[in-house]
Amino acid sequence: VSKERGETESVNHTLLAKYRTSTIAVKAAADAVQIHGAQGIGAEASVQRHYRDAKVMEIIEGTTQIQQTMLGQFAVRAARL
């Protein structure tokens, strides 16, 4: 919505949305693997597939670490305004 309005904050909002959803998905999938114990990590386990599918979202389209750096830069810039 902020992108359609042409707001400069739209990049920050997009970064934040991708960062939050990908890290939460990885946490949920990792918990699912853990709950299943050794059975959860096997190649045939559906939960390990969910973990891999979630984990790749922390890598593609901007890694988690790069997003943290950019979000930090946005926060510092906003604090100076």
Ligand X SMILES: Cc1cc2nc3c(=O)[nH]c(=O)nc-3n(C[C@H](O)[C@H](O)[C@H](O)COP(=O)(O)OP(=O)(O)OC[C@H]3O[C@@H](n4cnc5c(N)ncnc54)[C@H](O)[C@@H]3O)c2cc1C
Residues of this chain that interact with ligand X (CB under 6 A) are 56, 59-60, 63, 65-66, 69
61 is catalytic: yes
Least spacing, CB of residue 16 vs ligand X, in Å: 17
Q: Are 60 and 66 in contact (CB under 8 A)?
A: no
Least spacing, CB of residue 26 vs ligand X, in Å: 13
Nearer to ligand X, 13 or 62 (CB): 62
Question: Which residue in 16, 20, 21 sits closest to 2, CA to CA?
Answer: 16
The single residue of 9, 44, 58, 61 carrying the catalytic annotation is 61
Nearer to ligand X, 36 or 74 (CB): 74
CA 48 from centroid of its chain's CA atoms? 17
Residues involved in catalysis = 61
